[in-house]
Amino acid sequence: MIQWFETKVKYDKTLETGAVKAVPETYLVDALSFTEAEARITQEMEPYVTGEFLVTAVKKVKLDDVLYHEGGDRWYKVKMNMITIDEKTAAEKKTASLTLVQASTLEEALKVFLKSMEGVAFDYEIASVVETPLMDVFAANLGQTVADKAAKKD
């Protein structure tokens, strides 16, 4: 089962002006544990960082799906409520589900999400669509963990 971790990092980044500034950024990685999440974000960022690099926070986040959309440069969180009817009480029940969508605009994120929902066999409502502070999402190579890679180096 994929577990997603939001990682916050701070590193020295060369700005367009040529100045070097310590910047905080947020990334999402999938990993088996907090320790692996920290190792994964460090490994993913290594090619882009030349100065000081620090992982300032790692927290587990609940996501039911991640939708990649080529050309999207932002990440949006779509909260959807699945609507079911309890057969015994006939009461309407809503179950929340969170999906992360890559897109360039809020409208595009909604469009990508709705396309992914075509043909579902249940009623649903979209509760919210919000832009996240995520810079990027790093999904693991499911055939190889950070621990596997370290073992191969030895």
- State the Cα–Cα distance between residues 119 and 38, nearest whole angstrom: 38
The reported pLDDT for the residue numbered 153 is: 47
- State the Cα–Cα distance between residues 7 and 38, nearest whole angstrom: 7
- State the Cα–Cα distance between residues 97 and 82, nearest whole angstrom: 7
The reported pLDDT for the residue numbered 149 is: 46
Taking the domains of the chain in order of start, what are their residue ranges? Answer: 4-61, 65-131
pTM of the model: 0.84
pLDDT per residue rounded down to tens, the chain (154 residues): 679 999 999 998 888 898 888 999 999 999 999 999 999 999 999 998 888 899 999 999 999 999 999 989 999 999 999 999 888 888 999 999 999 999 999 999 999 999 999 999 999 999 999 999 999 999 976 554 444 444 454 4
